[in-house]
Amino acid sequence: MEAPAGGVDDMTKLSYLHEPGVLQNLKIRYELNEIYTYTGNILIAINPFQRLPHLYDAHMMQQYKGAPFGELSPHVFAVADVAYRAMINEGKSNSILVSGESGAGKTETTKMLMRYLAFLGGRVATEGRTVEQQVLESNPVLEAFGNAKTVRNNNSSRFGKFVEIQFDKQGRISGAAIRTYLLERSRVCQISDPERNYHCFYLLCAAPQEEIEKYKLGNPKSFHYLNQSNCYELVGVSDAHDYLATRRAMDIVGISGKEQDAIFRVVAAILHLGNIEFTKGKEIDSSVPKDEKSKFHLNMTAELLMCDPRALEDALCKRVMITPEEVIKRSLDPLGATVSRDGLAKTIYSRLFDWLVDKINVSIGQDPNSKSLIGVLDIYGFESFKANSFEQFCINFTNEKLQQHFNQHVFKMEQEEYTKEAIDWSYIEFVDNQDVLDLIEKKPGGIVALLDEACMFPKSTHETFANKLYQTFKNHKRFIKPKLSRTDFTIAHYAGEVLYQSDQFLDKNKDYVVPEHQDLLSASKCSFVAGLFPLLPEETTKSSKFSSIGSRFKLQLQQLMETLSSTEPHYIRCVKPNNLLKPAIFENVNIMQQLRCGGVLEAIRISCAGYPTRRAFFEFINRFGVLAPEIVEGNHDEKVICGKILEKKGLKGFQIGKTKVFLRAGQMAELDARRAEVLSNAAKTIQHRIRTHNARKQFIALRKATIHVQSLWRGRLACKFFESMKREAGAVKIQKNIRRYQARKGYSKLRVSGLVLQTGLRAMAARKEFRFRKQTKAAIIMQTRWRCHRASSYYKKLKRASIVSQCRWRGRIARRELRKLKMAARETGALKEAKDKLEKHVEELTWRLQLEKRLRTDLEEAKTQEITKLQNSLQSMQIKIDETSALLVKEREAARKAIEEAPPVIKEKQVIVEDTKRIDSLTGEVESLKASLHLEEQRADNSERRYAEAQESIEEKQKKLQETEGKVHQLLESLSRLEEKLTNLESENQVLRQQAVSVSMAPNKFLSGRSKSIVQRSAEGGHIVGDPKPALDMHSHSIIQRDHPEVEEKPQKSLNEKQQENQELLIRCIAQHLGFAGNRPIAACIIYKCLLQWRSFEVERTSVFDRIIQTIGNAIETQDNNDVLAYWLSNASTLLLLLQRTLKASGAAGMAPQRRRSSSATLFGRMTQSFRGTPQGVNLSFVNGGLNGGVDTLRQVEAKYPALLFKQQLTAYVEKIYGMIRDNLKKEISPLLGLCIQAPRISRASLVKGSSRSLANSAAQQALIAHWQGIVKSLGNFLNTLKANHVPPFLVRKVFTQIFSFINVQLFNSLLLRRECCSFSNGEYVKAGLAELEHWCYKATDEYAGSAWDELKHIRQAIGFLVIHQKPKKTLDEISHDLCPVLSIQQLYRISTMYWDDKYGTHSVSSEVISNMRVLMTEDSNNAVSNSFLLDDDSSIPFSVDDISKSMEQIDILDIEPPPLIHENSGFSFLLPRAD
């Protein structure tokens, strides 16, 4: 198989599974920032040396949660998820082994594993911090005391760490523990250049000045344990800053300040202890402190450890030997004293480190009842330096153990795979390294045993130890003796040969605790130091039993392997790409050595020993079906097809399992070569046909061009001949035209001269006539304007005076009438009188209305007659004018004829005299006619003016008539309301009188002030919530005076009880499904009308709002019933709309009672005031509970706090119900989305079998879009539910917009995370599914779908990019601006590198485009947002109350029929629709 442009995510899929192929694949993926790669179930993690935050955010963790291993791109989260699922499903503990050399990123990988496990296992917090946080917060402390600078890493962990994360039965994290292994104790006393000792020593030397003076410290160069190397500081690291950070971390972990002082006191004591030097004493083989400097450090050590200086000196320089007879004290020589000093320092530091680990475990907290755990092992990897000492020997021994465990696990996985597929694997050999382990740890002849034996003899040296090794292992194949050294030895490890220098093996291995040291420190006055060295049992104190680091190392390693063996292991191999610790540098040799040390190549070797290449049946047929198309087109099973293809090509040794084809090494390459040959022959055939087509096409084009050239030349010759003929004809025509022009020019000059003379004479006469007419017209206009002005001024004065007179007279009459009404309204009987008067007034107004109509009719008839007369006279005058004009024309014609027929000159004078007289007489007659015409025109103007004035008066009378009709209508309505109120008053008075009679015999204690206070509070409150009419009656002064005894004797039971009953009935009513009236929810309209009728919005305190909210909350408790949720969403949004358009916040809450007290004292006065106070644009909608008009006519109510709080709670419920409906749909389609991003494999495989099977193909096509049709069906059902419950279209659009955005995010993120989805055929599959969604949006219409289709822009553009052809020809500008303008560079880069064409075998974009994308990403690498290529789902509420109010249509709530439960109740009579 050709390697894809972005490499393969699992290297077992490589056709050539060898070291160069593995290295090339890792390099390609590392250049694409794909730092994780699988090798089977092993994860290889290459340190990028840069931040990649998009790989580890919460969204990425959510993507890998529960995903099958290998389905998404390789990631550390996938390994953690597999371990967690295995622990939950199988109940067995799991472990994750993270290994690699210093600087490979083991610690960071461990942190990511713990983060993901905390994400999966919940967040059980202790004192506000999660277990994961507590473990991570302990890292600075452990790093300070357990990390040091080595040759390859500035912060290398010199101990192994096994973090046990404990889980309860529900899979939640219940505790954790940190187990440390194999601390490098010898580093305390011995370091090599350019390494450093443990960080804590340098941190303490860089502490604040008071700390340094307190412990008598100084520069690190002045201490023996630190100045063995020339490296004292790290580049870019501040020891002073790290000291403060370590102290803060200790505070967080729970180490008190007193304990911290004791810890650093011990660290300072170790530094001073190392500066104690010894020299020979006075006695033989004795030793004493060398000089005053050594004595000073001895005293400081004793002071810091709080022990006796003399006892400390004796413990370092002397030994006590206990015999049956006596106790013998012997002295040590200077060398022995130095060894004793270093042993004490290593013991103290080791005990201190163990105490820190125990303290951290106590702080984190462990779960003793936990039966399952996930362990994360972070341990140093294989080491091979130029100089390798005892530390490298122990580390490599550990890695040999782990490698054996790794090999056994890999072989076990191979065995399980072959067994599952029923493959014969009996001949496969297992590569074991047990011989190396026997060489190191076997008893009694292993290297560790020989080293312990040498350490037990005082006279042994490293030379004798090396000779013993040479003699014992001279024939061992894994042990090699160097030729040029007498003390070195070489061991052939699994990762290569390592040369060890045995110079310091004996010194570094000695680890026994001297009884004198134990006694000295256990007696310390410092409780912390004494706690590090507790008293030992008596049997152990009698004899100093030998102990070595090697034996303890082997014991701890055995415990670690037992722990790992009891768990299911998972492996992560961390790789450091370069020693410069910089990004984008890939050193092949270095990485190959690390892969070899990490056992990756060993795992590949095991895989190659069996069947390294495995392909599923459908993948194999999809790729190699072209080798035998006749077999594929036949009706065979997939397994049979695979076997026949391999047999046809003559391959041997392969095996066919249940679901996969297993090929031996190299067979996949052979199949690829034959496939390439078939494709090459097919390409040659296509090229042959295309070249033939191109040659014929070129010949036809050449022939066509030749014919075209010939026709052009023939046409050119014809044009030339035609041009000569045209020129000759043109010359003749020009001559003719010039001659004609000259003749016409002479004639024109003569004609123009005559016209000029005529024009001048005629102009003179015309100007004279014009001046005369102009003067006459000006005089007429001036006269007209003056007469008009005079008449208009007189009319305006007269009109103004009449209006003023009418207003004053009407005002006088109205005031007189008002006084009469006020006087009459003081008694209840005045209502009947007012009724009679109003009836009389109505009759009078009716009579006046009829009179006005009759007068208007008469006036219109008179005006019509007058207008007719004026029109007749105007027509007669017009006839006379026409006759006069005709006569004048005849006279002029006769005069003209007479002049023409006159005799010669002799009689000419007489004729002129006669004609002049006749002309004068005619002129006079014309002037008289003009004068009469002018008079007639003036009369016509006057008639028109009078007609206009009459028309205006008629319009004014019509307006008055309309106003009178409106007043009559209002008076009739007022009369009917007054009748109703009168009836209510009478019934109320009768009830009060009956109650007064029934209570009149009761004792006087019932006439207490409590009854009065109730009535008084009801009166002063301005309303009673249940029924406003009794409250109005209580304000009536006359009624209070008349019925004062009855009111005072009113019982404790008030109208509030009736109100409570009405509220209870309303709540029971709305708890039922009331349905809809048209598209209006009945429940919302009933609630609104009741609250408005009861004036609940203006009440300071009421419980009706809380009960309504509680009813809604109880109804939506079942979140799965979308029908119920949609019903209440419709009701809640409608009620919220009505409240939004009705309620307004009260400007001053204290003004309301004052306004009520200052209102009119009587019932009739308050009603008339309400009539007068009603705004002009608002109908009287709420008088007597009636609702006239729709939403636009709702009056604004000043709402009190409970009403405003109710509105806010209702808003919250609208948002909550909306979110529940949206989330329910998300849950319903989420399982289908996971199936919609990738085409079903069965269908894809069946499509490969040829186009001849049309029935099978059609069935496969149906199967391809089955999941998409499931989503469309869910969307359709959901839309029908919303429509059935009349949810406002605005909210429906918002729901589907967010749902489509969710589909876009899920599909797009899955596409970017799964390489198998970025294929050409899969793009066609998703494109077909998106077409289904587009068709659904079209059927749903814009009213409900809105802009939902636009939310799929990311996945649409990404799929469009996958299915376009000729991708290598596309430039970056075309891709980013034309094809995919919405996608970022990171997203385009990932799609381009993950794309593979499984249908036509084409390539992705060109390498130049990939390089340009990489440059752009490097420029944006500092921006954390731009690095994230995944989309986030928006779960916010995308609307506000104002948006709902603006978008929803008006609602008419007048004709809503109340439900049967309250229909017959008299307390809800206001809900009944009123007849017009």
Catalytically annotated residues: 102-103, 107, 153, 156-157, 381, 383
- Type of residue numbered 997: V
Tell me the torsion sign for CA atoms 1468, 1471, 1473, 1474: positive
| Number of helices and strands in the chain (H, E) | 53, 25
Two tokens, residue 661: 């084809």
- Omega of the bond leading into 444 within 30 degrees of 0 (cis): yes
| Cβ atoms of 176 and 364 closer than 8 Å | yes
CA separation, residue 94 to residues 86, 90, 371 (Å)? 8, 10, 12
Task: Please report which residue ranges of 1314-1459 form alpha helices under DSSP H.
Answer: 1320-1345, 1353-1363, 1372-1373, 1385-1394, 1407-1419, 1424-1427, 1441-1447
Which among 1441, 1165, 1069 is positioned nearest to 1288, based on CA atoms? 1441
Provide the token pair at 1184. 């007597």
C-alpha 114/C-alpha 176 separation (Å) is 11
Helix-strand-coil percent breakdown of the chain, rounded to 5?
65, 10, 25
Helix (H) or strand (E) holding 630: helix 629-633
Residue pair 608/17 in contact by the 8 Å Cβ criterion: yes
Instruction: Report the alpha-carbon angle 14-18-23, nearest 5.
Output: 80
> If you count them, how many residues does the chain have?
1476
Nearest to 1330 by CA among 1355, 1302, 1306: 1355
Q: How far apart are CA 679 and CA 2, in angstroms?
A: 13
Q: Return contacts of 1173-1182, CB within 8 angstroms, 24+ apart.
A: 1182/1092, 1182/1093
User: 356 Cβ partners below 8 Å, 6+ apart?
Assistant: 141, 142, 145, 263
Tokens representing 31 are 């250049």
Angle, nearest 10°, between helix axes 1028-1035 and 1009-1020?
A: 100
Q: How many CA atoms lie within 13 A of 351 on its CB side?
A: 24
Q: How many CB atoms lie within 10 A of CB 362?
A: 12
Cβ-based neighbours of 1132, under 8 Å, separated by 6 or more: 1084, 1112, 1210, 1213, 1214, 1217
Single out the residue of 1204, 1071, 1201, 1211 nearest to residue 1135, CA to CA.
Answer: 1211
What is the spatial distance between Cα 1434 and Cα 157, in angstroms, rounded to a whole number? Answer: 43
Phi/psi region, residue 849 (left: phi>0; alpha: psi -120 to 50; beta: rest), is alpha
Per the structure block, which two tokens stand in for 1180? 């009287």
SS3 72: coil
Is the distance from CB of 1249 to CB of 632 less than 8 angstroms?
Answer: yes
Please state whether 253 falls in left (phi above 0), alpha (psi between -120 and 50) or beta.
Answer: alpha
Distance CA 238, CA 996 (A): 95
β-strand partners of 1076: 1081
The tally of CA atoms less than 13 A away on the side-chain side of residue 70 is: 10
SS3 (DSSP) at 615: strand
Instruction: Report phi then psi at 1351, rounded to 5.
Output: -70, -15
